[in-house]
Chain A
Amino acid sequence: MEIAIHLRIMIGFLCFSLVGIIIELIRQNRLKEHYAIIWLLTAMSIFVFGIWPDLLNLISRVVRLHHLTTLFLVSFIFLLAIVLHFTLVISQLFDRNRRLTQEVAWLRFEMEQLRQPDNG
């Protein structure tokens, strides 16, 4: 399968913009490097499919689907994986937030006790 040159340029542009945005977000301290990895990998895989579209054909032949369907399937699975990853992160944050809140309540209790020792 050959894709038109202007399409390749567009894909390349998309990848470099994505990488640029990610680096800028890290630079501004708005994105943790840890989570940037997944986005950099995303940009990289788009780039790979852009310069080497035969990979998509190869996969299409293996799973015996039309290449557009394959493209859709690959993106869909990839997005699912990202969402799952975020749900994991949220769950972990939830647990930590809960324990932190309980610790704060406990520390506040202890502090009040220290302030008025005769009420202990």
Chain B
Amino acid sequence: MDKILSKKTLIIIPAYNEEGSVARVIENIRRDVPDADILVVNDGSRDRTAREARQSGAMVLNLPYNMGIGSAVQSGFLFAKEKGYHFAVQVDGDGQHPSSEIPRLLEALDSGIDMAIGSRFVQPTGYRPAFTRSLGIKVFSFLVSLIVGKKVHDTTSGFRATRRSAFLLLTETYPHDYPEVEALITLHRNRMRFVEIPVEMNSRQAGRSSIGAKNAGYYMLKVTLAVFIAIIKRRQR
């Protein structure tokens, strides 16, 4: 237990049925960020995700049923809170997020920023989203930029590093599904600062996007509503 406490960065990997990619993701992180602890939050997977993760040497937090990406990440934040970590980095279990960029996200936190977002659109990268997705991304970018008062390019990226101050706040309030955009407003409302760090994302190694065409409408509606509610929500502290 002391071994855990002496280290200060926790990598949180929310994973739902990612047996095909989770081992590789963990391997890459261990190579690129050898000092960090790795926690896989197994969000009620029905495949061998938990076993693959454990065999690769990660800690595994098993959620008893599929709670949704937001609740899974928040479980990771609670873990980081209880174990006294200083930084928490969330990395997708599907291999999209390049672990080689994690040190750059953490460096940004060193300068007193509360959250660093691995962003696909600050500089032109190889990432080319489909039309509807690109439209949604633009709408949220416009909305969040307007509220926050500075240009935010990639509001939906789930590749993020947070300082303790920020993840403590998010253990109190974090949506259970599609949490990324709303979390930015929550941070802003609680006077926390975030920056975007340009990264080159990989295409996913296995699995599918959590947002299918069927859910796109719900996604847009829910997140837009959540953003407006987040503006008028009471501050946490």
Contacts and interface: CB of A to CB of B under 8 A. Distances in A.
A106 B81 CA distance: 12
A102 interface: yes
Interface string B44-70: 000000000000000111111101000
- For chain A, what secondary structure do more than half of its interface residues adopt (helix, strand, loop), or is it mixed? helix
A104 B4 contact: no
A120 B71 contact: no
B75 interface: yes
A120 B7 CA distance: 13
Interface string B70-99: 010011001100100000000000000000
Given A120-B1, A120-B3, A120-B4, A102 B62 contact: no
Contacts of A113: 1
B65 A101 contact: yes
B63 A101 contact: yes
Nearest to A102: B75
B204 interface: no
A109 B75 CA distance: 12
A102 B3 CA distance: 23
A75 to B, nearest CB: 30
Interface in A52-102: 98, 101-102
- For chain B, what secondary structure do more than half of its interface residues adopt (helix, strand, loop), or is it mixed? mixed
Contacts, number: 34
Contacts of B4: 120
A102 B59 contact: no
A98 B179 CA distance: 15
Contacts of B65: 101
Contacts of B75: 102, 105-106
Interface string B33-47: 000000000000000
Contacts of B71: 98, 101-102
Nearest to B76: A102
Given A98-B176, A113-B1, A120-B4, A106 B82 contact: yes
A32 interface: no
B181 to A, nearest CB: 20
B3 A101 contact: no
A102 B71 CA distance: 8
A97 to B, nearest CB: 9
Contacts of B62: 105, 108-109
Contacts of A102: 63, 71, 74-75, 78
Contacts of A105: 61-64, 75
B13 to A, nearest CB: 15
A31 to B, nearest CB: 27
B22 to A, nearest CB: 17
A101 B44 CA distance: 11
9 contacts: A101-B63, A101-B67, A102-B75, A102-B78, A105-B61, A105-B64, A106-B78, A109-B59, A109-B62
Interface of B: 1, 3-4, 59-65, 67, 71, 74-75, 78-79, 82, 176
What are the nearest 8 A-B pairs in CB distance? Answer: A102-B75, A105-B63, A109-B61, A105-B61, A120-B1, A98-B71, A102-B78, A105-B62
Interface of A: 98, 101-102, 104-106, 108-109, 113, 120
